Amino acid sequence: MAPLESSSSQLFFDSTFDVYDCGTLAGTRVVPDPPPLPGTSYGKQRSSRNAKEARCVHDVPEEVRDCWNRLFLEGYQADVRVSTDDGSEILSHSCILGIRSPVLRSMLEEARVEDGFRNILISGVPSEAARVFIRFLYSSRFEQDEMKKYALHLLVLSHVFSVPSLKIVCTDQLERFSLAPDNVVDVLQLARLCDAPRLSLMCTRMITGDFKTISLSEGWKVMRRANPSLEQELLEFLVEVDTRRQERAKRMEEKKVYLQLYEAMEALVHICRDGCRTIGPWDQKLKGSQVVCKFPACKGIELLVRHFSACKMRVPRGCSNCKRMWQLLELHSRMCSTPGTCRVPLCSILRIKCGIGARKKNSNGSYWCVRS
Ligand SMILES: [Zn+2]
Ligand SMILES: [Zn+2]
Ligand SMILES: [Zn+2]
């Protein structure tokens, strides 16, 4: 068994240390599931994932988990001493550490043995964080306040020692309790180093959602100096999000206009065919029904028709109300699907005037006006 080289186990925050190498030490790098795509049924997927995880945890009887927890707390028949920077030692079991983490297994195989104990060093994190980490390896248990306090350290540990289940827990904790405008840039950088795509996405969304505040934070200023390419990437993402937002707003506006036009067309045909409230069809008297009209644009179109019939300037270039009426009539004549029986005034005349004489039967069997 090779003696423990303290320099080889200086795993954290060492200037020469590349965290991406650690996950592949044992050749079994485990990458957690990527986050859902933005704009999908994110909440649904997340809740089903959480439910699945919760089910997995509850599938293990509480008694068994208690046993594993006690094994850690009591250190019964321990054969490993885990040292930390402040000189603390955590007693544990090589079989547990080795089975939960391929990186720890590799370290244990090379660790020096003294008095029947293998000695390894976890450096760069507070000893309490290392203790929470080792306890998690035994029973997947943790105290909520400890997890909140050391979530960032534990995220690094989960990545360095390749423990994906802990990475998921840390990501969830950081998302729910710790992400804030003043730390989100730092968390983003750490999430990228620790290969935590879901957390990266959450941070990026928060930055783009509150860019004004976050771009003034100390974290952003430090990141600009240290990592200008990340700043560029975030700015490009911001532009992309903004463009998408504008396009969505434009599409919504167009949809709204189309809907209004569609409703106006329907109401016009309805008034001319059935009559409504105060206006009867051109060849019949109104029956006086006061039931609520189902055409939302009816009232407005009714007023427009009343105005049109009385306005002295009733010419295409006349008053604005009359202009709207002419536009509606012309639009109707272009779209009319029943030109032979249509009761909308001027439908046939406008079709001829606008050069929409030809009729074409479409695949549904109805007629559509087309330009000749
Ligand atoms: Zn009506
Ligand atoms: Zn008018
Ligand atoms: Zn018509």
CA of 338 to the centre of ligand 1 (A): 20
Of the listed ligands, the closest to the CA of 322 is 2
Of the listed ligands, the closest to the CA of 277 is 1
CA 362 vs. chain centroid, Å, equals 43
SS (H, E, C) 115-160: CCEEEEEECCCCHHHHHHHHHHHHHCCCCHHHHHHHHHHHHHHHHH
pLDDT digits (tens, 9 = 90+) for 106-143: 999 999 999 899 999 999 999 999 999 999 999 999 99
Of the listed ligands, the closest to the CA of 329 is 3
Of the listed ligands, the closest to the CA of 333 is 3
d(CA 305, CA 270): 12
pLDDT digits (tens, 9 = 90+) for 202-232: 999 999 999 999 999 999 999 999 999 999 9
The residues placing their C-beta within 5 Å of ligand 3, an ion, are 336, 342, 344, 347
CA of 341 to the centre of ligand 2 (A): 27
CA of 311 to the centre of ligand 2 (A): 4
Q: How confident is the model at residue 283 (pLDDT cuts 50, 70, 90)?
A: low
pLDDT at 121: 96
Determine contact, residues 269/339, Cβ cutoff 8 Å: no
List of domains in the chain: 6-178 (3.30.710.10), 246-369 (1.20.1020.10)
Q: How confident is the model at residue 4 (pLDDT cuts 50, 70, 90)?
A: very low
pLDDT at 206: 94
* Rounded (10°) angle between helices 228-274 and 197-209: 70
Determine contact, residues 343/354, Cβ cutoff 8 Å: no
Determine contact, residues 171/196, Cβ cutoff 8 Å: yes
